[in-house]
Every structure is written in C-alpha cells, then in structure tokens.
Amino acid sequence: MNISVIIPVYNGAATIIEAIDSVIKQKIDGDITYNIEIIVVNDGSQDNTLNILARYIEEIKAKNIKVINTENGGVSCARNIGIKAAKYEWVAFLDADDVWCENKLSIQIKHIKSIKSPVNFIGSARNHEELYLYGKKITSLYKVKPLDLLIKIFPQTSTALVKKEALLNCGLYDVNMTHCEDADLWIRICSLNGGFYYHPESTVITGGGKYNVGVSGLSSDLKKMEAGICQMLRKTYLRGQISYFSYIFFYMFYKVKYIRRLTIVWIRRFM
C-alpha cells in the first residue's frame, strides 16, 4: 500500500517535527506493509519553520520528505496543493500540531483489507473520544452514510486516510470555506464515491490530548463555525443530495445546537 501524507504548516516551528516524527515512527504490525512519502506544504510561514525543516531533513537523511513552499492561502489551499502533488494512491492528512499514534496506519490498513467492497475513505476517533449516532455508541467498524455526517461532524481531519481518486472526483477542498471545510469535503466524498468508513480505535492525538467538547471556545469562533456548517448544508442541498425538507430540518437543528453551545459558553464565563 502506498500512502502520501500531507502536512500543511503555517508558523509551526514548535510542533512540525513532532508531527513528522509520528509518521516516520509508525510501527509495522505483522504482514502490514506500506510505502510513505511526506509532503509538507509550507503555507507562507513567517517564523523559522523552513529552517527547522531543512535541518531536520538533513539530520535524518530523509529522501521521502518533500517541502512545497507557497504563499499564504489558508489550510484548504495548502491541502489541495499537497493532494495534487501526491504520487501515491492513498492520501493521509496530518495537521502540523497533531501527532499520529504509533499504530495508526497499521490499524487502518487492517480494516481496509478486512472490507470486501471498495473503500474510499477511513477515519477514526481521536483523543480516545467516543462516537454516538442516533443514541448508540459506535463500537466497531462502521459504514458511514451521508445522513450521519449531517447529524454529526466527524471524523477529525488528521485521522483520515482517503483514496486520491475519490478526492479528485469530488473537487478537493473548497478554498472559499474557512470553517467546516472538512465536513463539506467528507459529505461530498461519501455522497459521490461511497465506501466511507469509521472505526472507534483512537489513532491521533490533537490539542495535547484534551477532550474536545465543542463549547469551550470564544463565542465569535462558535459563530464562524455555525456559519460554516450552514454553508456546508446549503451546498449539499444545492447539489441535490438532500431534499428541501431535510435542508430546513437540519438548518433548524444546527441553529438549536448553536444556541445551546453559546448558552453554555456564557454560563461558564460567569460561573
């Protein structure tokens, strides 16, 4: 199995090496074999990210790490550049401030091999979080439906392993979106290509391993996130992938969730 790992970075001097190390130090389990290329897309960093990368690559004599420099265009643009440059069939994403668990690829490749039908996407839990859908905990490999991705935004980007062809088929990341761009891409992959899977084993550490409750940020951040979700929903409707009734239902659903989260933020602020 051949995998291109895409790491967009902007002013990530403090974390980029740990992220790359987590890819290089992946453990090969049993008969699992794979080749890896690492594509670091430097999105116009203003710190010493480039110097640190150059020194690191020289020290470890890495021949499978490619650094692409580009003007600052945002993370979606950087990921798209990486996808287009990828030479392998599978693409994995890793943010510069996240780290993979040492058995991330082995777990996911095993799952892919166990599935008898075509697989285009597999993602997982992160930070040992649990996923509930329709009131039920997901405890085993799960085939995701587009409706699932409207009810809950998952999985996190750094857990994803995706067929490059599926990414190209659905038009890559929307560079005009600044929030929920992953959810928008995931639902396009799931709707247009199918073969979209999730497994509950945690394979990535994000944010230092802290549990993400989704309500601890600033109210301004929540507003931007809510706007991104509604933009994703409208795009899904305009593509004809959901009915008008479903569009209205989920629009109200997202508004209620936003008000709930905003209320929790304000309560915590004054406690």
Residue pair 189/196 in contact by the 8 Å Cβ criterion: yes
Topology of domain 2-209, CATH: Spore Coat Polysaccharide Biosynthesis Protein SpsA; Chain A (3.90.550)
Residue pair 72/10 in contact by the 8 Å Cβ criterion: yes
Mean pLDDT of 124-131: 96
Q: State the CB neighbour count (10 A cutoff) for residue 75.
A: 21
Mean pLDDT of 209-233: 72
Residue pLDDT, tens place only, 140-191: 999 999 999 999 999 999 999 999 999 999 999 999 999 999 999 999 999 9
- Phi, psi for 198 (deg, rounded to 5): -135, 140
Percent share of the chain, pLDDT over 70: 95
Instruction: Pick the range with the lowest mean pLDDT from 27-36, 40-49, 57-66.
Output: 27-36
Strand partners, 198: 123, 142
Q: Is the pTM of this model over 0.95?
A: no
pLDDT at 226: 92
pLDDT at 267: 85
The full set of domain ranges for the chain reads 2-209, 219-268
Residue pair 42/96 in contact by the 8 Å Cβ criterion: no
